Amino acid sequence: MSEPNAELHPAKQTVLGLYATAKEAYEKWLAEPDKVKIIDVRTVEEYLFVGHPTMAWKIPFADQIDSWDAEKGKYPMNPLIDFAARVSEVAKPDDMLFVMCRSGGRSAIAANFLAKAGFTNVYNVIDGMEGDANADSDGVAQAQPLKDGWKNSGCPWTKKLTPERMLLPRAQ
């Protein structure tokens, strides 16, 4: 798997220090599909509109808050308190988990959350589903994730929902 290096953005680093690219996570899953779990922590809307890995468990880590944060210039995310319990429905604390989001930031937070809950073998997929912003392009394309990531690495994905692999938050 990927070794941490000085180039890894601090927001993608985790307390366990375990990292993989989307391609590495997929190859590890191919080699040991019964022992490796891909956990996609993005929102349901992201699964619907962007797509998701075909074999992933879709377990949202956070939901979007509907009040604008003017200081940050975005709608913030709110962690879901039952996240670790939902992951526990499909994984044991020592299972090899590859946690992914859009580009590796939210998944780092989710990996830290799982580590705090007692999971010991949690990798952050540092390029996520869509990868990092492409600094080489200009205009609108520059803000769009266009390199790396699950979709851009030739890994299998779909927009067809698989409800049997979705563990959504319980009503609060």
In the chain, the domains with their CATH numbers are 10-163 (3.40.250.10)
Provide Rg for the chain, Cα atoms: 15
DSSP 122: E
- 124-155 per-position pLDDT tens digit: 999 999 988 766 555 554 456 567 899 999 99
- 49-71 per-position pLDDT tens digit: 999 999 999 999 999 888 898 99
78-82 mean pLDDT: 93
Token pair for residue 87? 């992951």
pTM: 0.89
